[in-house]
């Protein structure tokens, strides 16, 4: 596979269909994290990517504390096969430590989260003891020494990394940061993605219907997918197949965004000017990808300044200076194909640009196929599926039916994509398949 740093003219038309794996390899070399960071309040940090390691300023928990409501005592008092009787010396509450001294044969009533009094290391749950005034009786074998005590720093120790650079902040991660007393966090800046649809047959919402025209659905579906990633979307609307309008949209996107995302005009039709203008303004590879749906795909970059375009063409290499270029993705025009290509290729690339260090692929699970599926070896297929969990815990999946790439309603019915690998043939009923789940990404 040619290096992504050399988008030469020979690469603009692949001699045969590219595999999904080859496209991923190319994009992994082409796409680099953006520079720039900002500090934001925790309440605004969900989904953002850490720009630097977070070092814990405190230990969590900050002190030994009780894991249950009960009675704290010295576990050394426990004897094999013997009950234990203790006098209750006082009460420790969460947020109100008990300041007294515990004598021999004594214990302290303690609430969950309360600081363990000095010299005490074990908690017996209150439901396991018998009360007799200010005295409790602990049956033999009720607890072992050290039970039901949370140790200082057992979650995190002060001075140790709590979260690593590149972590995409989940609700749990926000809770962890809050437990450290941090009010804000340093994250990579938001990506700016310019998005528009192309085609003279595209109607904007509010326009009256006309013969041969369709309303622009791609822009709204892609906008939703981008919003789920937390990027700033620059909506450039629907652009007709007129060179001056297309050029203006691409030039604006190149100036204002980190990424330009289009749909339509990359399959090579006689009336499409999109491919030619992409090539004039940057370095773009046009591929037929061995996948269904989503076969036509364009990927590369646009240069932000006209004088940089000629210089780039002269040296025929991709500039390493991100300020000079804007990543470009041209997706198919059919609605389902555009969404599938986004999930398979664009979403992982955008997360990589955001600095995310984990595998950005949507979650997959295995399920038994309820029906036979037709599949030709030699391409990767993404069939819309409906996963069901049965009472016994089994997961099964069935297709939504006809898999036409213009059937957007099937993406609404589906809760995932049945992923059939490149060399896979037909699938028999009852065979296990992988399903790329939509939850959290759509």
Question: How far is it, in rounded angstroms, from Cα 442 to Cα 225?
Answer: 6
Note whether residue 112 is domain-resident.
Answer: yes
Average pLDDT of span 216-244:
95
**Pairing mode of beta strands 122-125, 70-73:** antiparallel
Task: Report whether pLDDT(306) > 90.
Answer: no
Note whether residue 3 is domain-resident.
Answer: no
Task: Report whether pLDDT(310) > 70.
Answer: no
Number of separate domains in the chain: 4
What pLDDT does 305 receive? 73
Task: Report whether pLDDT(16) > 90.
Answer: no
Note whether residue 1 is domain-resident.
Answer: no
- Judge whether 50 and 96 are in contact, CB under 8 Å: no
What pLDDT does 289 receive? 95
Bond preceding residue 61 cis, omega within 30 of 0: yes
Please state the three-class secondary structure of the chain as a single string.
CCCCCCCCHHHHECCCCECHHHHHHHHHHHCCCCCCEEEEEHHHCCCCEECCCEECCCCECCCCEECCCEEEECHHHCCCCCCEEEEEEEEEECCECCCCCCCCCEEEEECCCCECCCCCCEEEEHHHCEEECCEEEECCCCCCCCCCEECCCCCECCCCEEECCCCECCHHHHHHHHHCCCCEEEEECCCEEEEEEECCCEECCCCCCCCCCEECCHHHHHHHHHHHHCCEEEEEEEECCCHHHHHHHHHHHHHHCCEEEEECCCCCCCCCCHHHHHHHHEEEEEEEECEECCCEEEEEEEECCHHHHHHHHHHCCCCCCHHHEEEEEEECCCHHHHHHHHHHHHHHHHHHHCCCCCCCCCCEEEEEECCCECCCCCCEEEEEEEEEECCCCCEEEEECCCCCCCCHHHHHHCCEEEEECCCCCCECCCCEEEEEECCCCC
Average pLDDT of span 79-92:
96
Average pLDDT of span 393-404:
93
Task: Report whether pLDDT(9) > 80.
Answer: no
Tell whether 264 and 332 lie within a shared domain.
Answer: yes
Average pLDDT of span 415-423:
96
Q: Where a domain ends, among 127, 162, 187? A: 187
- Judge whether 123 and 70 are in contact, CB under 8 Å: yes
Residue 357's pLDDT band (cuts 50, 70, 90):
confident
Q: What percent of the chain has pLDDT over 90?
A: 80
**How many other C-beta atoms lie within 10 A of the C-beta of residue 210?**
9
Tell whether 383 and 413 lie within a shared domain.
Answer: yes
**How many other C-beta atoms lie within 10 A of the C-beta of residue 84?**
19
Note whether residue 172 is domain-resident.
Answer: yes
Tell whether 162 and 214 lie within a shared domain.
Answer: no
Q: Where a domain ends, among 128, 150, 172? A: 150
| β-pair partners for 287 | 297
Note whether residue 4 is domain-resident.
Answer: no
Tell whether 199 and 345 lie within a shared domain.
Answer: yes
Tell whether 114 and 72 lie within a shared domain.
Answer: yes
Task: Report whether pLDDT(7) > 70.
Answer: no
| β-pair partners for 435 | 365, 418
Tell whether 235 and 369 lie within a shared domain.
Answer: no
Residue 441's pLDDT band (cuts 50, 70, 90):
confident
| β-pair partners for 366 | 434
Question: How far is it, in rounded angstroms, from Cα 204 to Cα 219?
Answer: 10
Tell whether 348 and 204 lie within a shared domain.
Answer: yes
Average pLDDT of span 48-77:
96
Average pLDDT of span 214-228:
95
Tell whether 245 and 273 lie within a shared domain.
Answer: yes
Average pLDDT of span 396-405:
92
Tell whether 306 and 399 lie within a shared domain.
Answer: no
Over residues 279-292, the pLDDT tens digits come to 899 999 989 999 99
Q: What percent of the chain has pLDDT over 70?
A: 90
| β-pair partners for 437 | 416
Note whether residue 375 is domain-resident.
Answer: yes
Tell whether 182 and 316 lie within a shared domain.
Answer: no
Note whether residue 442 is domain-resident.
Answer: no
What pLDDT does 341 receive? 96
Average pLDDT of span 258-273:
82
- Judge whether 166 and 160 are in contact, CB under 8 Å: no
CATH assignment at residue 400: 2.40.340.10
Task: Report whether pLDDT(303) > 80.
Answer: yes
Over residues 311-342, the pLDDT tens digits come to 444 444 444 455 689 999 999 999 999 999 99
**Pairing mode of beta strands 395-399, 364-369:** parallel
CATH assignment at residue 84: 2.170.190.11
Residue 265's pLDDT band (cuts 50, 70, 90):
confident
Average pLDDT of span 413-438:
96
Tell whether 54 and 31 lie within a shared domain.
Answer: no
Select the more confidently predicted residue: 323 or 137: 137
Q: Structural domain of residue 399, as residue ranges?
A: 364-437
CATH assignment at residue 264: 3.40.980.10
Pairs from 397-405 (Cβ < 8 Å, separation ≥ 24):
397/367, 397/368, 397/369, 397/370, 397/433, 397/435, 398/369, 398/370, 398/371, 399/371, 399/373, 403/292, 403/293, 404/336, 405/292, 405/293, 405/294, 405/332, 405/334, 405/335, 405/336, 405/337
- Judge whether 274 and 266 are in contact, CB under 8 Å: yes
Note whether residue 324 is domain-resident.
Answer: yes
Task: Report whether pLDDT(360) > 70.
Answer: no
Pairs from 51-54 (Cβ < 8 Å, separation ≥ 24):
51/165, 51/186, 51/187, 51/188, 51/355, 52/165, 52/186, 53/161, 53/163, 53/164, 53/165, 54/161, 54/162, 54/163, 54/177, 54/180, 54/182, 54/185
Least confident piece of the model among 8-22, 86-100, 161-175? 8-22
CATH assignment at residue 44: 3.90.105.10
Tell whether 220 and 340 lie within a shared domain.
Answer: yes
Task: Report whether pLDDT(219) > 50.
Answer: yes
**Residue 82 dihedral angles phi and psi, to the nearest 5°:** -125, 140
Question: How far is it, in rounded angstroms, from Cα 363 to Cα 441?
Answer: 9
What pLDDT does 81 receive? 94
User: Average per-residue pLDDT in the chain?
Assistant: 90
What pLDDT does 228 receive? 92
Residue 17's pLDDT band (cuts 50, 70, 90):
confident
């Amino acid at each position: 596979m040619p290096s992504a740093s050399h988008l030469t003219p020979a690469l603009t038309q692949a001699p045969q269909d590219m595999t999904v794996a080859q496209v991923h390899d190319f994009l992994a070399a082409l796409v680099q994290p953006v520079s720039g960071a900002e500090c934001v309040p925790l309440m605004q940090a969900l989904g953002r990517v850490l720009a630097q390691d977070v070092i814990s300023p405190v230990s969590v928990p900050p002190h030994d504390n009780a894991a249950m409501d009960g009675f704290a005592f010295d576990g050394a008092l426990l004897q094999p096969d013997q009950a234990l009787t203790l006098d209750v010396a006082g009460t420790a509450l969460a947020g109100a430590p008990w300041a007294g001294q515990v004598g021999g044969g004594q214990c302290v009533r303690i609430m969950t989260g309360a600081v363990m009094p000095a010299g005490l290391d074990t908690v017996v749950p209150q439901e396991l003891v018998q009360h007799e005034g200010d005295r409790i009786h602990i049956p033999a074998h009720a607890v072992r020494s050290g039970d039901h005590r949370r140790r200082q720093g057992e979650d995190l120790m002060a001075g140790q990394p709590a979260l690593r650079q590149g972590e995409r902040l989940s609700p749990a991660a926000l809770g962890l940061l809050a437990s450290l007393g941090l009010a804000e966090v340093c994250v990579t800046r938001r990506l700016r993605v310019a998005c528009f649809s192309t085609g003279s047959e595209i109607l904007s919402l509010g326009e009256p219907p006309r013969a041969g025209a369709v309303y622009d659905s791609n822009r709204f579906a892609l906008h939703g997918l981008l919003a789920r990633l937390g990027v700033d979307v620059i909506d450039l609307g629907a652009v007709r197949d007129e060179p001056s309008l297309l050029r203006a949209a691409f030039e604006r996107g190149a100036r204002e965004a980190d990424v330009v995302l289009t749909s339509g005009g990359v399959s090579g039709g006689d009336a499409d000017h999109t491919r030619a203008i992409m090539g004039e303004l940057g370095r773009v590879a046009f591929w037929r990808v061995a996948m269904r749906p989503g076969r036509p795909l364009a990927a590369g970059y646009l240069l932000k300044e006209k004088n940089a375009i000629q210089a780039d063409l002269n040296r025929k290499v991709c500039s390493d200076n991100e300020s000079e270029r804007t990543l470009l993705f041209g997706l198919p025009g059919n609605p389902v194909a555009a969404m599938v290509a986004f999930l398979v290729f664009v979403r992982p690339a955008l997360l990589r640009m955001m600095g995310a260090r984990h595998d950005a692929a949507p979650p997959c699970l295995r399920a038994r196929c309820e029906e036979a599926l037709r599949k030709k070896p030699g391409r990767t297929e993404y069939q819309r599926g409906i996963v069901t969990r049965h009472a016994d815990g089994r997961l099964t999946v069935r297709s939504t039916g006809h898999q036409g790439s213009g059937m957007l309603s099937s993406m609404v019915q589906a809760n995932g994509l049945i992923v059939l690998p490149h060399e896979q043939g037909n699938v028999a009923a009852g065979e296990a398949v992988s399903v790329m789940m939509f939850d959290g990404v759509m």
